[in-house]
Amino acid sequence: MVEENTIDDEIILADLPDDELTAQMHDDLYDGLADEIAEGTNLLLGRGWDPSRVLNDALVEGMRIVGIDFRDGILFVPEVLLAANAMKAGMAILRPLLAETGAKPIGKVVIGTVKGDIHDIGKNLVGMMLEGAGFEVIDLGINTDVEQFLGALDEHKPDILGMSALLTTTMPYMKVVIDTLIEKSLRGDYMVIVGGAPLNDEFGEAIGADAYCRDAAVASETASRLIAARRAAAAA
Ligand code: B1M
């Protein structure tokens, strides 16, 4: 008689040691499993992991793997959207933890992904890290045109304007925004930081930004440094 296979092959995340759990989370992110990503995030936090370690080792690393297979034509837009959705489920849990300072804001940042571009995961992470560093962040979302940026600058009077672009076709739009600020004699009123995977220092310099930031941690350090430098100059 053939014995029926009664082995339950469902993976119990809570039973996995840390290294296997993070590897499983990379797989779950790849498969767009938002509930599992939320569960894994909570498990790692419950095991005493620092929120930024969960973010970098479990979520950002998982998204890096997704990006490679997207580039190579193994994954397509619908799958990547599911992965992005799963990533956001983890980020929603980490957000309040990363932003927890309780201190008075050290400055204000208006941030958005530029016109034509709908990538927002990196921009959202930058916003979270800035909040964690004590900034008030006004997030304009995706596909932000120059009028929306100018309107928000006028309304919120931030110290810093932050722009994100993930496509080589949308990154030149950052120059449109900066050139418009120059035309309207507003450039001196704001410090401008830019970021996104296809950018680099040379590009940031060429378009007249104050700084290009490689990642969210660099963005929050740079924003703090720029604010401190401006305040020191004003006090001198
Ligand atoms: Co898009 N996509 N995508 N995509 N997508 C890329 C960017 C791509 C590199 C994939 C690839 O080919 N390997 C490629 C761009 C190629 C190029 O331009 N050279 C690409 C393409 C081609 C496209 C479409 C054109 C695909 C299509 O339709 N055929 C399309 C474009 C849509 C549009 O915007 N108009 C498209 C669509 C999408 C989805 C909607 C499916 C989804 C976005 C979902 C979302 O964001 N809500 C998506 C995704 C998820 C990606 C990849 C896989 C991952 C991006 C991401 O979230 N990374 C991406 C491949 C990749 O980058 N590896 C890809 C994780 C995130 C934490 O990193 O965003 O780099 P990142 O942010 C970092 C830093 O860059 C920096 O800090 C962040 C955190 O450390 N940073 C800043 C970012 N902004 C900053 C701002 C700052 C400072 C630092 O100051 C203000």
Q: What pLDDT digit, counting tens, does each position of 136-148 carry?
A: 999 999 999 999 9
Given this model, what pLDDT does residue 214 score? 94
Structure tokens at 69: 């297979």
Ligand 1 close to Cβ of residue 216 (< 6 A): yes
- In angstroms, what is the span from residue 37 Cα to ligand 1's centroid? 20
Task: With cut-offs at 50, 70 and 90, classify the pLDDT of residue 105.
Answer: confident
Q: What pLDDT digit, counting tens, does each position of 161-210 carry?
A: 999 999 999 999 999 999 999 999 999 999 999 999 999 999 999 999 99
Ligand 1 close to Cβ of residue 125 (< 6 A): yes
Task: With cut-offs at 50, 70 and 90, classify the pLDDT of residue 8.
Answer: low
Mean pLDDT of 125-133: 84
Given this model, what pLDDT does residue 217 score? 81
Ligand 1 close to Cβ of residue 111 (< 6 A): yes
Q: What pLDDT digit, counting tens, does each position of 67-86 carry?
A: 899 889 999 989 988 998 99
Q: At 35, give phi and psi (nearest 5°).
A: -65, -40
Task: With cut-offs at 50, 70 and 90, classify the pLDDT of residue 98.
Answer: confident
- Structural contact between residues 187 and 120, judged by C-beta atoms closer than 8 angstroms: no
Structure tokens at 219: 């963005």
Using DSSP, state whether 229 is helix, strand or coil: helix
Mean pLDDT of 40-60: 94
Ligand 1 close to Cβ of residue 82 (< 6 A): no
Beta strand residue intervals within 8-118, DSSP E: 107-113
Compare 52 and 100 and report the one with higher pLDDT. Answer: 52
| Residue 122 Cα: closest atom of ligand 1 | 72
Beta-sheet pairing, 191-195 with 211-213:
parallel
Q: What is Dmax (Cα atoms) for the chain?
A: 90
Mean pLDDT of 207-215: 96
Mean pLDDT of 197-226: 95
